[in-house]
Amino acid sequence: MSSDRVAVPQLLARLRRQDSGRPRVTWYGADGERVELSARVLENWVAKTANLLVEELEVEVGDAVRLDLPAHWRTVAWRLAVAAVGGELTGPEGGAAPDVLVVADGSPHLDGATSGTGAGVPRHLVVQALGALAFRAQVVPPGALDAAAVVAGYGDELPAVVGAPGLFVPAAPSDARVLVDARSGDDDGAALDAVLAALAGGGSAVLLGPGSPDPERVAAQEGTTPA
């Protein structure tokens, strides 16, 4: 399986041209939550998130962005948006604070979190609510941005960013519909990589988050193969 750099605008446009209404990301969560994103809807979420990154958070090519989020459909949108604007994804290791830190609403990592210019403090702190019908986060520290409350107000077209290196992912077999099991909740990024690989291959992914149904039942319902 080869690995390539993929420009996010071209990737999303290709998926939309193939079939704008076909499910591309289907996410299962706890309590029967199921969210399905077509190519058109996924592109819309990525565009709005990318515009938030550029206009509100002032992210430029090479700026460090850390996504402290579980395997979730919103995380897919964030990953694609960060790549679209040329942000550099970083992990918890290292020591240097990222320019932007995105944390899930309710995460214990929010305790004492702040944003600003001090050592070890991210320039921007963003709280992302994860509930399917959540339009606001429950806990937003002073100075932090509530992503769910503001993202809908941003533009539906991807920003033109010169020098964005694109997304480095292995392409899955062409047109595959893969099942990605992230129910353990301790994913190190591999689940999201598998989702992005499926998209890069022109296919789709069904992502199982913590508390989601039995994978064998979901696979039968969704017509998937393992990632």
> With pLDDT > 90 as the criterion, what percentage of the chain qualifies?
73
- Give which of 157, 158, 171 is closest to 6, Cα–Cα: 171
pLDDT in tens, 191-208: 999 999 999 999 999 999
Looking at the predicted structure, is the pLDDT value of residue 176 above 80?
A: yes
pLDDT value for 91: 84
The residue assigned the tokens 């107000």 is: 153
Looking at the predicted structure, is the pLDDT value of residue 117 above 80?
A: no
Amino acid identity for residue 124 in this structure: H
Angle at 163 between CA 162 and CA 167, to 5 degrees: 115
Average pLDDT, integer, range 3-10: 85
Furthest CA-CA distance within the chain: 51
- Distance of alpha carbon 110 from alpha carbon 170, whole angstroms: 33
Average pLDDT, integer, range 174-179: 92
Sequence-separated contacts (24+) of 119-127 with Cβ below 8 Å: 120/95, 121/97, 122/66, 122/97, 122/98, 123/97, 123/98, 123/99, 124/57, 124/58, 124/99, 124/100, 125/101, 126/57, 126/100, 126/101, 126/102, 127/102, 127/103
pLDDT in tens, 62-91: 999 999 999 999 999 999 999 999 999 998
Burial 8-25 (b: 16+ CB within 10 A, else e): bbebbeebbeeeeeebbb
Q: What does the chain come to in residues?
A: 227
Burial 135-158 (b: 16+ CB within 10 A, else e): eebeebeeebbbbbeebeebeeeb
Q: Give how many domains the chain has, as a whole number.
A: 1
Does any domain span residue 150? yes
Does any domain span residue 24? yes
Phi, psi angle pair for 46, to nearest 5°: -65, -40
pLDDT value for 1: 45
Q: What is the pTM of this model?
A: 0.93
Question: Which tokens go with 111?
Answer: 């305790």
Tell me which of 82 and 115 has the higher pLDDT.
82
The residue assigned the tokens 């353990």 is: 184
Does any domain span residue 161? no
- Give which of 22, 21, 13 is closest to 46, Cα–Cα: 13
pLDDT value for 29: 93
- Residue 18 maps to which CATH number? 3.40.50.12780
pLDDT value for 188: 65
Question: Worst-scoring range by mean pLDDT, 55-59, 107-111, 206-210?
Answer: 107-111
Query: The domain containing residue 220 runs over which residues?
Result: 3-156+166-226
Question: Worst-scoring range by mean pLDDT, 68-82, 128-142, 180-194?
Answer: 180-194
pLDDT value for 186: 66
- Distance of alpha carbon 49 from alpha carbon 113, whole angstroms: 22
Question: Worst-scoring range by mean pLDDT, 43-47, 120-124, 134-138, 211-215?
Answer: 120-124
> With pLDDT > 70 as the criterion, what percentage of the chain qualifies?
92
Angle in degrees, 0-180, between the axes of helices 8-18 and 39-51, rounded to the nearest 10: 160
